């Protein structure tokens, strides 16, 4: 315990010295997020110096081993770092699908050589990754995917189409599920890695109801992928994919579901006072009911992370976290829209920073679809946790 | 502190689970006392066994002969009580009264704690004045009288009041009914002159009383804490009781859910186990999620209370409200998914529904605590 207290005070001192004031402000828009990659540009000196300090310390990926660019922190230390960063509202130095998704898969299934090479690149923010999972005909039923890699001896030739590839148009590399055996549904998929600059790869952004295009369609037309560029065994990519989906669900579940609305409540109270009225009692009640659920979910998030560290969490528990967290986040944005009234309907006004409330509200509708729908989550909970009968 | 049980707590949970399943089972306790028309609604022998197990003294300091543990540990016992619907005076005596007595004079502690530890004494608390929990308003008066006080007023929903050897009464020693200050807690012996109670059996077969204090004379030694300064101890006691009731509610929810999920795996209709139907699977999975989250909220609030953290009051209200919603969902889904037999007295699922309803009301329902959450949050 004494060691942990020392670690906490050292961490405080380090953060005080290295996290610039500007990096302690809430993230306002996409530009405030640093994604790394070949074409990345820093928005400001502060963003750059915070990122570089974290890379040097291993704090872009604090829990990864030092050999792969991390800081090798023990779970208890990593929790302290999270707490101390949260205490000063420090922004994440680097956001990356490499950190959240590919990294955990490589740590579990990668060869030593792959770990040193790819994890290091991710930790240093050199390569920006995207994920090739869903296809037009394979959403919830992901394993029915058809993108095919034909065996050509020392390489595969990949043909097919992926969809909902997040930021594919800005990514450097893709981790991608490719069918390599048409005869075996589950054991006929290989988890491949390849450069998005490879000839035959093209992307097309999809315009969403929010007016933004965070997702793409990604097309593969005779794309040559060297044989060594796969994670796990050939034809056993489904194991990697399932493992990774667990991580994705954890990640999405942490995306704001635990945030409270009390700030909305207080802001509304002020607004109402200014306009000479009262906070609508029915809306106030809804806000309180939401805060109850959000704070309870926040406790669950903390418990879940504590349990996962010591292997006490049920392996299917991320599905529950994802289900509840995403449904909460949708509810939160509905309440924020109601709280904002007609102002929050504005689509591109300066006052709303370009329609942030309405576009953000629409964006949350994807939360309970992407990474496995709420309905699929409930199926998994019913079968794997409650052990209910049936297919 | 991690939000799971450490080794000692796990051991306590194992022994409480085994003890309650064997000694506190629905058939031998709740149904037995209900069907024999017991005036207490619980068994004194079982209460003494609680004493032998050490449960009665979980929240009593080691100096006073207790175990000196915290709300997490008390909650462990309460969750098992909830799961088995075990009737006992644990919540009112070992949680509520013990919390207040922990801050009482040497004399009061010496007079009451030994009997609590052995399970020979039963305590109750008299807070509510009316059908809803509203402790912000206390109209019962305690007027100065000689060296002591004279109490007059009415109290409701005094659980175990008729069985209690001593009842902790919140009364007003100064100010007007809605003042925060001016409240004093008194330890009132059951046989005090002027104290009368009208016992009523509740839906869950527990026994509560409507209490009348008609000039009950007490000497100054009956005051718990400071005269006029009882609000702080009252809040402490109420929060201990609320999180205790929430922990019991989690047990009720889990008990009802487990029974129901088992039933989904046994009952066949249309040639299939009904648990194969997705409409029921999704509802069961949703319920599971709510129960897990409620339990996390309860443990979080218990830890905050044990650490005496400023945010404890908010989290206690969050937990009490959240468990209220979840346990309500668990018992309603339980009865519905059991179908017709869920409506029969023979099946236990209805007993869970009844207990949940009483727990919901005890020390503030969902709406009371939602209001508190809004107020504490500043809107």
Question: Distance between CA B221 and CA A302 in Å, rounded?
Answer: 45
- Residue at B211 is within a domain: yes
Per-residue model confidence (pLDDT) at position A256: 44
Share of chain A above pLDDT 90, in %: 73
Mean predicted lDDT score pLDDT of chain A? 91
Residue B254 near residue B83 (C-beta atoms within 8 A): yes
Question: Distance (Å, rounded) from C-alpha B104 to C-alpha A36?
Answer: 62
Nearest-Cα distance to chain B for A334, in Å, is 18
Q: Which helix (H) or strand (E) holds B77?
A: helix B71-84
Residue A107 has pLDDT above 70, yes or no: yes
Tell me, yes or no, whether A210 and A284 share the same domain: no
Residue range B3-35, pLDDT digits in tens: 999 999 999 999 999 999 999 999 999 999 999
pLDDT band of A79, cuts 50, 70, 90: confident
Count CA within 13 A, CB hemisphere, residue A79: 18
**Per-residue pLDDT, A254:** 52
State percent of chain A over pLDDT 70: 96
Contact A296, B369 (CB under 8 A): no
Q: Does residue A248 have an active-site annotation?
A: yes
Query: Is residue B200 classed as helix, strand or coil in its secondary structure?
Result: strand
* Residue B306, burial from CB neighbour count under 10 angstroms (0-12, 13-18, 19+): middle
User: Chain A within 8 Å of B3 (Cβ-Cβ)?
Assistant: yes
Half-sphere exposure of A159 (CA within 13 A, CB side): 5
Which structural domain range is residue A186 located in? Answer: 129-237
Task: Indicate whether B46 belongs to any domain.
Answer: yes
B144: Cα separation from own chain's centroid: 32
**How does pLDDT run across B172-225, given as a tens digit for each residue?**
999 999 999 999 999 999 999 999 999 999 999 999 999 999 999 999 999 999
Q: What is the pLDDT of residues A145-195, one digit of tens each?
A: 999 999 999 999 999 999 999 999 999 999 999 999 999 999 999 999 999
Q: Which residues of A touch B284 (CB under 8 A)?
A: 382, 386, 388
Q: Tokens at residue A260, please?
A: 């409270």
B355 falls within a domain: yes
- pLDDT for res B143: 97
Provide the domain limits for residue B277: 231-377
Per-residue confidence band for A252, with pLDDT thresholds at 50, 70 and 90: low
Could you tell me if A273 and A368 lie in one domain?
yes
Q: For residues A130 and A119, give the distance between their C-alpha atoms in angstroms, rounded to a whole number.
A: 15
**B68 and B132 within one domain:** no
> Is position B208 within any domain?
yes
Helix (H) / strand (E) containing A248? helix A237-253
d(CA B30, CA A56): 64
Domain count, chain A: 3
Helix (H/G/I), strand (E/B), else coil: B315:
helix
A294 with A328: CB under 8 angstroms? yes
Angstrom distance (rounded) from CA A106 to CA A114: 7
Say whether B282 and A269 touch across the interface (CB within 8 A): no
Residue A102 domain-assigned (yes or no): no
Q: Do A299 and B297 touch (CB under 8 A)?
A: yes
For B95-130, the pLDDT digits (tens) are 999 999 999 999 999 999 999 999 999 999 999 999
Residue B305: C-alpha distances to residues B96, B316, B317, B345 (Å): 14, 8, 12, 38
Q: What CATH number does residue A44 fall under?
A: 1.10.540
Which tens digit of pLDDT belongs to each residue from B288-311? Answer: 999 999 999 999 999 999 999 999
pLDDT at A269: 75
- The pLDDT assigned to A371 comes to 84
Indicate if the pLDDT at residue A250 is higher than 70: no
Does B243 score more than 80 pLDDT? yes
Q: Which residue of B has its CA nearest to A379?
A: B282
Residues of chain A found within 8 Å of residue B314, distances taken between Cβ atoms: 295
**Residues A183 and A275 grouped into a single domain:** no
A259 and A364 both lie in a single domain: yes
Catalytic pick among A77, A84, A248, A250 = A248
Note whether A358 and A309 are same-domain residues.
Answer: yes
Q: Contact, A192 vs A156, CB < 8 A? A: yes
In the structure, what pLDDT confidence band is assigned to residue A44 with cuts at 50, 70 and 90?
Answer: very high
Beta-strand (E) ranges in chain B? 123-126, 141-145, 148-159, 166-172, 183-189, 195-201, 207-219, 223-224, 268-269, 272-273
């Amino acid at each position: 315990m004494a060691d942990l207290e020392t670690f906490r005070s050292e961490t405080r001192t380090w953060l005080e010295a290295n996290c610039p004031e500007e990096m302690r402000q809430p993230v306002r828009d996409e530009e405030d997020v640093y994604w790394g990659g070949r074409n990345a540009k820093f928005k400001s000196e502060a963003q750059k110096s915070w990122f570089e300090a974290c890379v040097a310390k291993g704090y872009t990926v604090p829990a990864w081993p030092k050999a792969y660019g991390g800081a090798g922190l023990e779970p208890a230390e990593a929790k302290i770092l999270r707490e101390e960063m949260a205490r000063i509202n420090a922004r994440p130095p680097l956001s990356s699908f490499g950190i959240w998704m590919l990294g955990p898969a490589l740590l579990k299934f990668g060869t030593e050589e792959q770990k040193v090479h790819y994890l290091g690149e991710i930790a240093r923010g050199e390569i920006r990754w995207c994920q090739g999972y869903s296809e037009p005909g394979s959403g919830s039923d992901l394993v029915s995917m058809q993108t095919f890699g034909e065996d050509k001896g020392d390489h595969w030739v990949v043909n097919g189409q992926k969809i909902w590839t997040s930021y594919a148009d800005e990514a450097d590399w893709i981790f991608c599920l490719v069918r390599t055996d048409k005869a075996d549904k589950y054991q006929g998929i290989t988890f491949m890695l390849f450069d998005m600059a490879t000839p035959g790869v093209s992307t097309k952004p999809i315009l969403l109801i929010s007016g933004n295009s965070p997702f793409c369609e990604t097309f593969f037309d005779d794309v040559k992928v060297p044989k060594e560029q796969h994670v796990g065994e050939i034809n056993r990519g489904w194991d990697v994919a399932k493992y990774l989906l667990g991580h994705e669900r954890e990640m999405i579940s942490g995306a704001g579901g635990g945030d409270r609305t009390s700030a909305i409540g207080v802001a509304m109270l002020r607004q109402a006072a200014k306009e000479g009225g009262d906070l609508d009692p029915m809306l106030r009640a809804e806000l309180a009911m939401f805060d109850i659920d959000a704070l309870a979910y926040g406790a669950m998030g903390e418990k879940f992370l504590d349990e996962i560290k010591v292997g006490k969490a049920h392996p299917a528990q991320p599905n529950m976290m994802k289900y509840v967290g995403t449904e909460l986040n949708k509810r939160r944005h509905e309440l924020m829209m109601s709280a904002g009234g007609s102002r929050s309907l504005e689509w591109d006004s300066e006052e709303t920073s370009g329609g942030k409330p309405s576009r953000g509200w629409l964006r949350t509708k994807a939360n309970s679809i992407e990474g496995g729908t709420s309905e699929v989550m409930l199926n998994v909970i019913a079968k794997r946790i409650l052990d209910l009968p049936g297919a | 502190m991690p939000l799971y049980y450490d080794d000692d707590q796990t051991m306590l949970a194992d022994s409480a689970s085994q003890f309650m399943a064997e000694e506190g089972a629905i058939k031998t306790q709740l149904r037995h006392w209900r069907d024999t028309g017991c005036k207490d609604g619980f068994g004194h022998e079982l209460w003494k066994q609680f004493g032998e197990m050490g449960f009665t003294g979980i929240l009593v300091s080691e100096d006073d002969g207790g175990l000196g543990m915290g709300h997490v540990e008390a909650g462990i016992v309460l969750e098992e009580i909830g799961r088995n619907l075990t009737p006992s005076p644990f919540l009112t005596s070992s949680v509520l009264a013990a919390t207040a007595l922990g801050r009482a004079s040497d004399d009061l502690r010496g007079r009451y704690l030994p009997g609590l530890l052995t399970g020979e004494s039963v305590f109750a608390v008299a807070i509510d004045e009316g059908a809803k929990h509203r402790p912000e308003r206390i109209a019962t008066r305690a007027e100065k009288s000689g060296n002591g006080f004279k109490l007059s007023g009415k109290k409701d929903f005094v659980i175990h009041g008729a069985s209690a050897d001593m009842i902790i009464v919140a009364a007003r020693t100064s100010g007007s009914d809605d003042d925060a200050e001016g409240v004093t807690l008194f330890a009132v012996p059951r046989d005090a002159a002027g104290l009368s109670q009208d016992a009523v059996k509740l839906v869950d077969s527990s026994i509560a009383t409507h209490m009348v204090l008609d000039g009950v004379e007490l000497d100054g030694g009956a005051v718990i804490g400071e005269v006029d300064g009882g609000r702080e101890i009252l809040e402490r006691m109420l929060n201990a009781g609320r999180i205790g009731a929430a922990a019991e509610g989690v047990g009720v929810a889990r008990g009802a859910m487990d029974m129901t999920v088992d039933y989904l795996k046994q009952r066949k209709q249309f040639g299939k186990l009904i648990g194969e139907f997705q409409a029921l699977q999704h509802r069961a999975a949703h319920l599971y999620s709510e129960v897990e989250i409620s339990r996390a909220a309860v443990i979080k609030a218990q830890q905050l209370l044990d650490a005496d953290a400023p945010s404890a009051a908010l989290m206690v209200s969050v937990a009490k409200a959240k468990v209220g919603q979840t346990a309500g969902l668990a018992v309603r889904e339980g009865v519905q998914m059991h179908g017709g037999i869920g409506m029969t007295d023979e099946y236990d699922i209805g007993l869970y529904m009844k207990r949940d309803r009483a727990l919901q009301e005890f020390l503030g329902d969902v709406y009371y605590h939602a209001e508190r959450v809004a107020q504490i949050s500043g809107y």
